[in-house]
Amino acid sequence: MDFVIDPPPRVTLPVRGTDDLFPVHRIYCVGRNYAAHTIEMGYDPDKEPPFFFQKNPDNFLVGRDFPYPPASKDVHFEFELAVALKSGGTDISSADALNHVYGYACALDMTRRDLQGVAKKTGRPWEVGKAFEASAPCGPIVPASEIGHPDAGCIRLDVNGQRRQDGNLDQMIWKVPEMISYLSGLFMLRGGDVILSGTPAGVGPVAKGDTLQGEIEGVGTLDLKVV
């Protein structure tokens, strides 16, 4: 038995300070998980709880410039804490959830906001706005065995040296254990799943030539150029 075509390459993320690789299974993303961002997008955080969408695993971009994608004139940055799972299951309790976390990373949920806007208006799915090539730039994973499980600390992004996003992980509406528990009631989670946990306020457009510098206290940094 043999593959009838070349199998696609396995998607991996580097582990900081090592030659080790984290194999990626799925990418789940939380929408509107910081109240101030929910409000800037025109929604009421008290009336609408956060929700999930997905990107494709091979949308991760590691160690390369971000290529401005086709079909959009309004590509936005959303800087987020990524949560990498080492194991999974269904119906995981919040109390047990962090036992399934391998580590954390800095990530961007790049968004074709104009296409997402059309999808919202017409009730269509979000993939064209969210799940395009290189739409998930991600830094190296830092094992929880080294840094613990950060539930507070600055999460900030500068664009061309100007501070654009400045939040704190403690502002998440759904905390990491809650999102793992909730997701595990909808999907079979597995080791290799990565959750992008939502973005604080201040999202905005990028242009070719921009440099993005993100930092999450206790987790690390992510530098990116738009080309």
Which residues 81-110 are close enough to bind Mn ion by CB under 5 A? 109
Find the shortest distance in angstroms from Cβ 186 to Mn ion.
Answer: 18
Give whichever of 85 and 108 is closer to Mn ion, judged by the CB atom: 108
Residue of 155, 117, 111 lying closest to 136 (CA atoms): 111
Find the shortest distance in angstroms from Cβ 14 to Mn ion.
Answer: 22
Q: How far apart are the first and last CA of the chain?
A: 42
Give whichever of 109 and 193 is closer to Mn ion, judged by the CB atom: 109
CB under 5 A: which stretch of 70-78, 93-101, 132-140, 164-172 binds Mn ion?
Answer: 70-78
The pairing of beta strand 60-61 with beta strand 142-143? unpaired
CA distance 107 to 196: 7
Find the shortest distance in angstroms from Cβ 55 to Mn ion.
Answer: 10
Residues in the chain: 227
Residue 199 binds to Mn ion (criterion: CB under 5 A)? yes
Give the tokens for residue 30. Answer: 């939380």
Which residues 107-146 are close enough to bind Mn ion by CB under 5 A? 109
Find the shortest distance in angstroms from Cβ 80 to Mn ion.
Answer: 6
Cβ atoms < 10 Å from Cβ of 143: 19
Give the tokens for residue 49. Answer: 């709880």
Binding site residues, Mn ion, CB under 5 A: 78, 109, 199
